[in-house]
Amino acid sequence: MSKLMAIDLDGTLLNHQNRISAENIEAIKKAQKDGIEIVVATGRAYFDVKALFEGTEIETWIIAANGATIHTPSGELYQSTPIDQPKALEILQWLEEEGYYYEVFSQKAILTPQNARELLAIEMDRVVSANPEVNLEELQEAAETQYSQSGFQFISSYKEIQSTNVEVYNILAFTFHNEKWKRGWDHFKDERELTLVSSAVHNFELEHKDASKGNALTKVANELGVPLSETVAVGDSLNDLSMLKIAGKSVAMGNAHPEVKEVCDEMTLRNIEHGVAHLIEKIRTN
- Site string (213-252) toward Ca ion, x via CB under 5 A: -----------------------xx---------------
| 8 is known as an active-site residue | yes
11 binds Ca ion (CB under 5 A): yes
Q: Which is nearer to Ca ion, 66 or 215 (CB)?
A: 66
List the one residue from 4, 8, 100, 205 that touches Ca ion (CB under 5 A).
Answer: 8
CB of 200 to Ca ion, least distance (A): 7
* Candidate list 3, 4, 5, 10; residue touching Ca ion; CB under 5 A: 10
To Ca ion, the closest distance from the beta carbon of 21 in angstroms equals 16
Cα–Cα distance between 132 and 255 in angstroms, integer?
25
Enumerate residues 160-219 that contact Ca ion by CB under 5 A.
Answer: none
CB 256 to Ca ion: min, Å = 9
Q: Which pairs count as long-range contacts for 250-255, CB under 8 Å and 24+ apart, including other chains?
A: 251/279, 253/11, 253/12, 255/11
Q: Quote the CA–CA distance of 246 and 251 in Å, as a whole number.
A: 12
Of 161 and 195, which CB lies nearer to Ca ion in the complex structure? 195
- Distance between CA atoms of 260 and 89, rounded to whole angstroms? 32
Question: Residue 238: how many CB atoms within 10 A of its CB?
Answer: 17
Cβ 72 to Ca ion, closest distance in Å?
23
Rg (CA), the chain: 18
Residue 11 or 67 having the CB closest to Ca ion = 11
Output phi, psi for 227, to 5 deg: -65, 145
Q: What's the CA gap between 221 and 154, in Å, rounded?
A: 36
Q: Which is nearer to Ca ion, 8 or 207 (CB)?
A: 8
Please state, in angstroms and rounded to a whole number, the distance separating the CA atoms of residues 120 and 143.
8
**How far apart are the C-alpha atoms of 191 and 227, rounded to whole Å?**
32
**Contacting Ca ion within 34-53 (CB under 5 A):** none
Q: Residue numbers of the site for Ca ion (CB under 5 A)?
A: 8, 10-11, 236-237
Question: Mind telling me the catalytic residues?
Answer: 8
